[in-house]
Amino acid sequence: NAGVTQTPKFQVLKTGQSMTLQCAQDMNHEYMSWYRQDPGMGLRLIHYSVGAGITDQGEVPNGYNVSRSTTEDFPLRLLSAAPSQTSVYFCASSYGDRGPGANVLTFGAGSRLTVL
């Protein structure tokens, strides 16, 4: 099992450029989410999805878009990158509220993004 796979691992953008961070999971998890991690701030939830076709905003959604067309994939789009979006981004997934693994998140390895 690959678990949660994030690509790319590192990316440098210029202000105003757009890009997509990819996230895929092979565990048939219903719930997927994106967090950003900044020094001294812990992890903050950007967007999450409770199933294919359903997405919702987290704590810091501005500047980011998501979609969930399949159970496996949950890409995060930056439409016009800003220096404030320099961060480490983590994708995570879980079974949601049901089952023995309910609510337990499996994290990807992270994507480090720098916006100049």
Per-residue burial over 66-89, b = 16 or more CB atoms within 10 Å of its CB, e = otherwise: bbbeebbebbbebeebeeebbbeb
45 touching another protein, by CB under 8 A: yes
| Minimum distance, C-beta of residue 80 to another protein, in the bound complex (Å) | 26
30 touching another protein, by CB under 8 A: yes
Q: Which is nearer to another protein, 2 or 14 (CB)?
A: 2
Q: Which is nearer to another protein, 26 or 59 (CB)?
A: 59
Q: Which residues pair with 32 in a beta bridge?
A: 49, 93
Residues that bind another protein (CB under 8 A): 4, 30-31, 33, 35, 40-45, 48, 50, 58-59, 90, 92, 94-97, 102-110
